[in-house]
Amino acid sequence: MPFSIPRRRLLAGALATLPLALALPGCSPKAEPLAFEGNDISGTHLGRDLDMVDTTGRQRTLADYRGKVLMVFFGYTQCPDVCPTAMAQASQVMELLGDKARDVRVLMVSVDPARDTPDVLAAYVQAFDPSFIGLTGTPEQLDKTARSFKAFYAKEAGPSPDHYAMNHSSAFYLLDREGEARALLGPSLTPEDMAHDIKLLL
């Protein structure tokens, strides 16, 4: 047949260029999204400007935790209900993870730096788990960090200037080993759900 040779050459040429095409940027298959129990926030880059101080006085950014999966929570030590419940959940998550917990860090960012001194904050978070890390800082640092996560917090007046409450976000932000935000773990999730999502990133 008169067209058999050109067709054969065309097919051979196409097959020869296939590996090159697959190697070009944007030509590789897109990775399937992970089946998170929480809300998938991959690609939002939330939290990249985390810039706080830990309870030892050391400046901390996401770069300090590279290689670890992070659970980041915004709260305060005098919180009557939401924060202790969340920290207790995180403690259960760490137990469920077993040996894998060594690759996870739980960070609680204080939204009440005026009262949450390093000593107070350290005692609070480590009462739930000795590995938990408390982060505090100046009001400016808190504002920058919270904006980076799009986390809400606001002071609610009390009976006196020293007795007030803080309204704040109640979800954990789950970040992967590269510091990329991946899932939002709301208070309706169980510790088992949270452990499931963390394992997807380990």
Residue 158, pLDDT > 90, answer no
Report which listed range, 6-10, 13-17, 130-134, is most confident.
130-134
pLDDT of residue 16: 44
DSSP-assigned states of every residue in 66-115: TTSEEEEEEE-TT-SSHHHHHHHHHHHHHHHHGGGGGGEEEEEEES-TTT
Rounded to 5 degrees, φ, ψ at 196 are: -60, -45
- Considering the chain, what percentage of its residues have pLDDT values greater than 90? 76
CA distances from 107 to 38, 67, 95, 144, 167 (A): 18, 15, 16, 16, 18
CATH superfamily of 39-201: Glutaredoxin (3.40.30.10)
pLDDT digits (tens, 9 = 90+) for 92-121: 999 999 999 999 999 999 999 999 999 999
Domains of the chain, residue spans? 39-201
Residue 58 tokens read as 């050391």
Q: Taking a C-beta distance cutoff of 8 angstroms, is the pair 47, 148 a contact?
A: yes
Question: At which residue do the structure tokens 């409450």 appear?
Answer: 165
Q: Structure pTM?
A: 0.82
For 183, the token pair is: 């899932």
Which tens digit of pLDDT belongs to each residue from 41-95?
A: 999 999 999 999 999 999 999 999 999 999 999 999 999 999 999 999 999 999 9
What DSSP designation does 111 have? S
